[in-house]
Structures are given as C-alpha cells and as structure tokens.
A and B are shown apart, each in its own frame.
Chain A
C-alpha cells in the first residue's frame, strides 16, 4: 500500500463549488505539506503543517484553507473554486526527527470549469 495517499485522484468541478482534497499518510511523519503544480512551473507551496496544532501559509495560500484532523490526515479546501485553480495538487510528508526528505503522494488533478 502507498505510504501517502490522496483522494480523489481526479476531480472536475464547477466555478463556485466548494471542494476538499484529502491526504492520508501511514509513514508516521509529523510534517505535512500541500503543493500546487501548474504547467511549465515547479511546485508551489500552499500550506504546511509541522504538527497538528501548527499550520502555516505558504507562498500561494489565497483561496485555500486546510485542516489537520490528525497527525496522519491533512485536507485542503477550496471554498469557492475558480478556473485558475485548475492544477495538479500534491500532498507531501516529512519527519522532523530523522531526515529532510519530503515524500509525495500521487497527486490530484483538479479541473474547475
């Protein structure tokens, strides 16, 4: 089984709709991240959480919110989706105790019509 899972893998929605992307991990890591990837660009950090009670905005947090429901779960919400939020979204995790490597989920492709 994958260590970092994302649901859904693909989603098409309409402008103005609320949508939630979910991320779960079985790696036991304390840190979790949400990134966005647009064509021709690298990944940009949306939000990050260093533990359940520590959530921080990244480079492009406007229009997004997050919830760290448990150490293993980190969800990303778009309260009112707009077309320029069409992108590939990645969740990642890392362990503050042992290493600096971030482990990525398989990504969610979101299309906002």
Chain B
C-alpha cells in the first residue's frame, strides 16, 4: 500500500515571501502521479499542481512549483510571492497508475496548514 507523509502540520509565512511544504511518499510502483491540493476555509478541494512520475522536469503553475525527487520519493511544493489568499490546508496526494484499465485512486497525506501573514 502507498503512504504519503507530510511532516509539517502547520507553517506560516509573511506575505510576498517564499515557503516550501514537504511531502514524502512510499511506493514500489514506477508509474504514478503526484498532486498538491489546496483546501481554503471554504473547504473546497482545489488542485494546485500535478506531476507525472515519468517526467524529470519539475511542474510549475505560476507562483507554484514542485521539487520532485523520484529516487528520494520526495515531492515538495514551493509557493513564491505568497499571498493572503494562499492561506489554506495543503494536501499532498499520490495516485497509482494501475495499468490495464488505467484505473486510479488517490492517497492523501494528513495536510499542512499554511498561514500567510500580512
């Protein structure tokens, strides 16, 4: 079974600064996807960024980027120029590519609560 570990229950950052959230995972699979989801106080789950394991290049989405280290099974999220609206719970998630019927399930970490201070 896959496990996802987020070792930082809470973090804070000043507005406009950069913050990095950590995530490690354990799997024997070679073909999989990794995600960061954001859950603001509205409780909606919002996809922030996605990384395919077969791609060596780190994914980026505007102010959000990842540092994907496949050998180390590490997938950290960097938020640049932090904004007050980035305040949320952030979840790292793993999705195994089952092959065959290409069926997927998400396994989530416990989350990191990020607070952006003015």
Contact = CB atoms under 8 A, between A and B. Distances in A.
Contacts of A100: 33, 50, 95, 97, 104
Contact of A102 (B4, B103, B106): B106
Contacts of A102: 104, 106
Q: How large is the interface on A (under 10, 10 to 19, 20 to 34, 35 or more residues)?
A: 20 to 34
Contacts of A50: 101, 103
A40 B107 CA distance: 15
B110 A40 contact: yes
14 contacts: A40-B9, A41-B110, A42-B91, A42-B110, A45-B106, A58-B105, A94-B104, A96-B101, A101-B47, A101-B50, A102-B106, A106-B42, A106-B43, A107-B44
Interface of A: 31, 33, 40-45, 48, 50, 58, 88, 90, 92, 94, 96, 100-102, 104, 106-107, 109
Given A42-B109, A42-B111, A50-B103, A106 B44 contact: yes
